[in-house]
Amino acid sequence: MAKFHDEDQTREWNELRVKEAEALAQILSERYKLPYVDLARMPIDNNAIRLIPEASAREAKIAIFQMNQKNVCVAIPTPKDEKMVPVIAELERQGYKVALFIASEFGIKKAWDAYKEISYAVVETAGVVSVSEETMEKYVSSIKTIPDIKNIILSAVHSGDAHALSTVVEILLGGAVATGVSDVHLEPEENIVRVRYRLDGILQDVVELQHADYKKVLARIKLLAGTKLNLTHEAQDGRFTIKIQGIDVEVRTSILPAAYQESVVMRILNPSTISVPLEELGMDEYFYKVMTAQIDKPNGLILTTGPTGSGKTTTLYACLKKLRNPEIKIITIEDPIEYHLDGISQTQVDHEKGYDFSNGLRAAVRQDPDVIMVGEIRDGDTASVAIDSALTGHLVFSTLHTNNAAGAIPRLIDIGVNPKIISSALNIALAQRLVRRLCLSCREAYTPEGREKEVIESNFTEIKKYRPKLELSKQLYRPIGCEKCTFTGYKGRISIYEGILMDRAVEKVLRENPSEREIKEAAKPQGMLDMRQDGIVKVLNGITSLAEVERAVGLEENR
């Protein structure tokens, strides 16, 4: 009991000393007419703190805690200490504009803790930490499978070399690019930190790290992403770029406070993964002809729907690339810009400055465009401007979050769009999902039985009405797994689609506030397959497996 009592007294004594130090700093702030800052509560800019070496900062008793271009904020305990003068003079000589703040010695010492986290990071220029292109290309070329990544990381961790440990981020990113991964997940648990890759939409375990090692890996990721090292109880977003074989690959970083340490997700935005021509997205011959006819129209609204990660952006970009030519102007309003396209004017929304989809769309119309892409229709205001644009001579592309193509129309009505105007503006609503392609090197043929056979036969009758040339295959294919597909049985992904055109039959039911089911029934004569049927066609053609179609859209018709 005495021990706990002593600990309580010590803690109370320390808290009292801190309060007194902060009170003194506030008094000095008033005396010297300089602003006061509590560095214990202030996030420290890691690019700012490293402008001067740790030894110089401790000698001068100062801390640089914020930086905005050439403007820096410097915390000092008192302006009377002459040791700080040469350090401030050197900053000014380098062109920095210095703003002085009074802080307590406790606060300044707290800020110095940031040096521990950044001491091992490679600095190429003042305040810049980057990934070596040579190192990245080394790992991209040497890594073939996910087990390769695990072996290289464990070798680096077990070497005990601090520099080798600092390359774990490069190994993870190089492995992600080499294997076509879309996201890298680092998930702290009670005893270990789990590292997982999202490959072809499915998460796979890569390696497990110890918490002590992960702390250093996390610090490096924060440095690369430009986020605050000492901010651990708030979500942070950052980004950085890695260069591989002359191609800039952007990495979007999300850091989230978790139960044990911060959780990290790095999204890999590789331009090569989205540069898929419209012809190769997975549309069957009939649907492709319908889509090309719609995007060749001079005006109207084309909507693509589906959940996050269903390939909507890839489809929209493929349409824009199909339309791109020097004779027309294309403008996009995105949140965020995921990939940069040559010959297209791309703008990004900025909610903090009031530049949202609605305002961006209004501004885009004044730029005399022929084609506009709005990242997402989220509200009635944006929908209204998009539809007005489609009615006044513009071809407008956008997305909606609905489960299927038929749901796009009730969704527009729900957010306040007049049904009569929808029929005049909307060209086509399509929906899509992504399914994994079977690996051609190891897929296995088999004869379906039981439920699988019933599903194929019952759906084939309906499919045959719209695709009379299609034959019922006696054999399907299933995944096995080999080195070429990282032992998953799948390699790459393809979209399954459905679409509803705005024709007289659909326009007629619009007058009666229709349900999704009623819209789908009215559109049946158009000859479009739904996503489930399109998926089954791809199963019959040996492109994907029945299990993948069930995972994406189910095998039973929604009634």
Angle between helical axes of 146-158 and 133-142 (0-180°, round to 10): 130
Confidence of residue 152 (pLDDT cuts 50, 70, 90): confident
Q: Nearest-CA neighbor of 405 among 486, 292, 508, 291?
A: 291
Query: Which residue ranges does the chain devote to CATH 3.30.300.160?
Result: 14-119
Residue 120: predicted pLDDT: 42
pLDDT at 241: 85
The 10s digit of each residue's pLDDT in 432-448 is: 999 999 999 999 999 99
Smallest CA-to-CA distance from 214 within 195, 196, 240, 232 is with: 195
Average pLDDT, the chain: 87
Q: Hey, how many other C-beta atoms are within 10 angstroms of the C-beta on 444?
A: 13
The pLDDT value given to residue 125: 36
Residues 6+ apart with CB under 8 A from 206: 146, 149, 150, 153, 172, 175, 195, 196, 197
d(CA 335, CA 355): 11
Q: What is the pLDDT of residue 494?
A: 95
Task: State which of 108-122, 142-156, 247-261, 349-363 shows the largest mean pLDDT.
Answer: 247-261
d(CA 54, CA 33): 27
Q: In this predicted structure, what is the pLDDT of residue 210?
A: 92
SS3 category, 256: strand
State the Cα–Cα distance between residues 83 and 56, nearest whole angstrom.
10
CATH annotation of 275-553:
3.40.50.300
| 88-107 residue pLDDT tens | 888 887 888 899 999 999 89
Query: Looking at residue 430, what is its pLDDT?
Result: 96
> From 3.40.50.1000, 1.10.10.10, 3.40.30.10, 3.30.450.90, which CATH number describes the 133-270 domain?
3.30.450.90
3 state DSSP class of 227: coil
> How would residue 49 be classed by pLDDT, with cut points 50, 70 and 90?
confident
Q: Give, for 125, the enclosing helix (H) or strand (E).
A: strand 123-125
pLDDT value at residue 327: 92
User: How far is 465 from 13, CA to CA, in rounded Å?
Assistant: 83
Q: Which of 163-167, 174-178, 485-489, 543-547 has the highest mean pLDDT?
A: 543-547
Say whether 228 sits in a helix, a strand or coil: coil
Residue 152 region by backbone torsions, left for phi larger than 0, else alpha for psi between -120 and 50, else beta: alpha
Cβ neighbors of 485 (< 8 A, separation 6 or more) are 439, 441, 442, 479, 491
Percent of the chain with pLDDT over 90: 49
Assign 211 to helix, strand or coil.
helix
pLDDT the model gives residue 334: 87
Residue 370: predicted pLDDT: 95
Backbone φ, ψ for residue 507 (5° rounding): -60, -35
Whole-number pLDDT of residue 477 = 96
Looking at residue 126, what is its pLDDT? 34
Query: Which of the four pLDDT bands, split at 50, 70 and 90, describes residue 123?
Result: very low
Query: Do the Cβ atoms of 85 and 76 come closer than 8 Å?
Result: no
pLDDT exceeds 60 at position 129: no
Helix locations, 447-500, DSSP H: 450-466
CATH number of 14-119: 3.30.300.160
Of the ranges 176-185, 374-383, 531-540, the best mean pLDDT one: 531-540
Per DSSP bridges, beta strands 330-334 and 236-244 are unpaired
Q: What pairs with residue 301 in β-bridges?
A: 396, 426
Concatenating the DSSP letter of every residue in 10-34 gives HHHHHHHHHHHHHHHHHHHHHHHT-
Q: What's the pLDDT tens digit per position in 400-437?
A: 989 999 999 999 999 999 888 999 999 999 999 999 99
Domain with CATH 3.30.450.90 in the chain: 133-270
The pLDDT, as a whole number, for residue 538 is 96
